[in-house]
Chains A and B, each alone.
Chain A
Amino acid sequence: MKKALSLLIVLTIIFVTACSKDTSSGGNESTASNGANDALKVVLLIPGTLGDKSFFDAANNGLNEIKQKLGADTKVIEMGTDQTKWEPTFNDIASQDWDVIISGGSQITELMNSVAEKYQKKTFINYDTDINEVASNVYAVSYATNEISFLAGATAALLSTSNLPHANPEKEIGFVGGMDIPGINAFLVGYIEGAKYVVPDIKVAISYAGDFTNPGKGKELSLLQYKSGVDVIFNVAGGTGLGVFDAAKDQKKYAIGVDSDQSAMMQGTDDEKANLIVTSAIKKIDQVIFNAVKQMQAGTLTTGKLEIAGLKEDGVGLAENNVYQNVLSEQIRTQIADLKNKLASGEIKVSNAMGMDTSKIDEIRQSVKP
């Protein structure tokens, strides 16, 4: 009994000292940085975890840029996928002395708006949402996924009708989506319109995996598309989409990446695969976040309404990497650049599937049915 008690006491002491040491050192650090300058304090709340090679990593890159170029004090907090933990974290952070609180995603929007209303003096940035209601001190951004998909579709159609080594004579391109939901169909509709703009009689094979973490399914669906005559597939399916690239390598056909430069991430480890991913449709989340904070410092940031980041605002773009330069002919690239200018200037208008009637989307899908 005595032994157990002394052991307990020793353990408690160790625990307490370990903890207190931790907090004191952490405290020192923060006071040191606080004392050094009166820098802008920016915090990024990730509703998930870093390392997705997409949204969250891009947001983190933007934060790093803010730290380096604007000299701000920054911190990133991964809130995890458990949504019940988001609200307490949000409230905690909002009650501390952060100047700018960044987070993003449609799921976070409602929470962010309600917290922002409670903390009127702070600025909030929602870097990716589709919801129109925005609190007065929130800078909310939606990306023109339809515009960038339009370019991806045009690229795919031009590639399919070209005489590139892995292109076949059939005028057929493919699309593998994660789920049949508005967010994904926004890509699809832009993709179809872009393809039809350059090749009016193009056919588009469309599959949905019904899952964002099933690369096996993504591979099966793409194999079927490639075998039915498709020579390039645009994937908008998260982790499932990685299976599309495997299928592309298998069948020696082309693919188009999404969200981040997915060719760059394979380069060095699997060049054969990387060289088949001709381009990627990118949301420039890092740029959007950086620009927002920069504007805020300059006092020109307009909050309270949903901003659309399109080609004009440099919020989206195609990955014009070395694969894009090497694989696609100059003729195709100039055509794409021309389309890009037309989209940016508003000469070409792309429909937006967000809020579009399901029957209308279905009509568009049927119109390009192979």
Chain B
Amino acid sequence: MNNFMHLLFSTDFAFSVLRVMTPILFAALGALISNKAGIVNIGLEGTMLVAALTGVITSAYSGSAWVGLLCAVLSGVIIAALLGFFTLKFKTHIILGGIAVNMFASGGTVFILYLVSGDKGASTSLKSGVLPNLHIPLIQDIPVLGPILSGHNVLTYVSLVAVAGLYYLLAKTPLGLQIRAVGENPKAAQSVGVKVNRIQFISLLISGFFASLGGAYMSMGYLSLFTRDMTAGRGWIGIAAEAVGRSTTIGTFLSALLFGAADALANALQILKLPAELIGTTPYIVTVIALMVYAISESKKKKRKLTKAKLKETKSS
């Protein structure tokens, strides 16, 4: 037990939480922006895979990790644009479109990997780039916080900045207002002159942008290679995190952090020799508990509102 506490309160553990959280957070932000616009992008997992592969291939051929990152982002945005083109222009159902993206990505990445490297499993024969880790000058000297916050991959910091950026975009800018309006009631938005399709298209592009950063992190930061289906469901967990966060930016960030922590905890617990099957359930148990806590607090709020309303009624009558 002592060992366990030692593990849980080590800086290494807190550091690993941020590291594990990053791809989930990117996917969750991608899910958030598309959901806000009322167009549910479930193609995040596929977009991440495509971006992960593009990053590896382009960085291997250009010799620069940054060119790789740029191309990865471009590929993600292109996938999102394609998805938007089919769903908004040709009215394909967005869920079907998303499924198509995921299936295409799972098979297509292996196919392209085979064309480029002659392998179908992993990109080990490509000399791909890795994005640098950042050691932040002042922060890294703070006793406990330093080793937790400093030394992460550059994309981990980008993900944190992206949370703030997305919050600002949604809450403070005209575009954000339009996105929210379109998501809540597209007909009403249209009636006041908002171009619904255009706003949804822009949201999808931003969604693809975030997902591609998550993908690039997987193959060029977290790991240094592409392997088939390497995202291993992180895109889906991102969508779940967005739902647990009730489509708010802060909530999404916190739930992504929670998922990251649960996953990191599941990894750390293995050292303690608890049964692996039990440990494997940790992330899901945490999710269920989080949802329960949320549901209880929510229903309490409602009850309070109801009783208040009733009180008012009785007073007025």
Residues of A within 8 A of B (CB): 49-54, 180, 205-208, 210-211, 213-217, 219-221, 223-225, 227-228, 239, 242-243, 246, 249, 265-266, 268-270, 365-366, 369-370
Contacts and interface: CB of A to CB of B under 8 A. Distances in A.
Nearest to B118: A51
A257 to B, nearest CB: 11
A365 B222 CA distance: 30
Contacts of B270: 206-208, 221, 224
Contacts of B263: 220
Contact of A269 (B12, B16, B125): B125
Contacts of B119: 51, 53
Contacts of B264: 220
Interface of B: 12, 16, 19-20, 23, 110, 114, 118-122, 124-127, 218, 222-225, 227-230, 232, 234, 263-264, 267-268, 270-271, 273, 276-277, 280
A340 B264 CA distance: 39
Contacts of A239: 121-122, 227-230
B271 A214 contact: no
Nearest to B19: A220
A221 B271 CA distance: 9
Given A52-B121, A54-B121, A207-B270, A216 B223 contact: yes
Given A214-B232, A243-B223, A366-B273, 11 more contacts: A50-B120, A52-B121, A54-B121, A215-B227, A216-B20, A219-B222, A220-B267, A221-B267, A242-B227, A246-B223, A365-B273
24 contacts: A49-B110, A51-B121, A53-B119, A53-B121, A53-B122, A180-B277, A206-B273, A211-B232, A213-B227, A213-B229, A215-B225, A216-B20, A219-B222, A220-B16, A220-B19, A239-B121, A239-B227, A239-B229, A242-B122, A249-B224, A265-B125, A268-B125, A269-B127, A370-B271
Contacts of B232: 211, 213-214, 216-217
Contact of B280 (A210, A216, A219, A228): A210
Given A216-B222, A216-B223, A219-B222, A225 B276 contact: no
The 7 closest A-B pairs by CB, nearest first: A51-B120, A214-B232, A208-B276, A207-B270, A269-B127, A213-B229, A239-B227
A309 B23 CA distance: 43
Contacts of B277: 180
Contacts of A217: 232, 267
Nearest to A370: B271
A352 B162 CA distance: 52
Contact of A213 (B125, B223, B230, B268): B230
B217 to A, nearest CB: 10
B12 A227 contact: yes
Nearest to B10: A227
Given A205-B271, A239-B121, A365-B273, A216 B218 contact: yes
A215 B122 CA distance: 10
Contacts of A366: 273
B124 A242 contact: yes
Counting chain A CB atoms within 10 Å of each CB, which of B121, B223, B263, B273 scores highest? B121
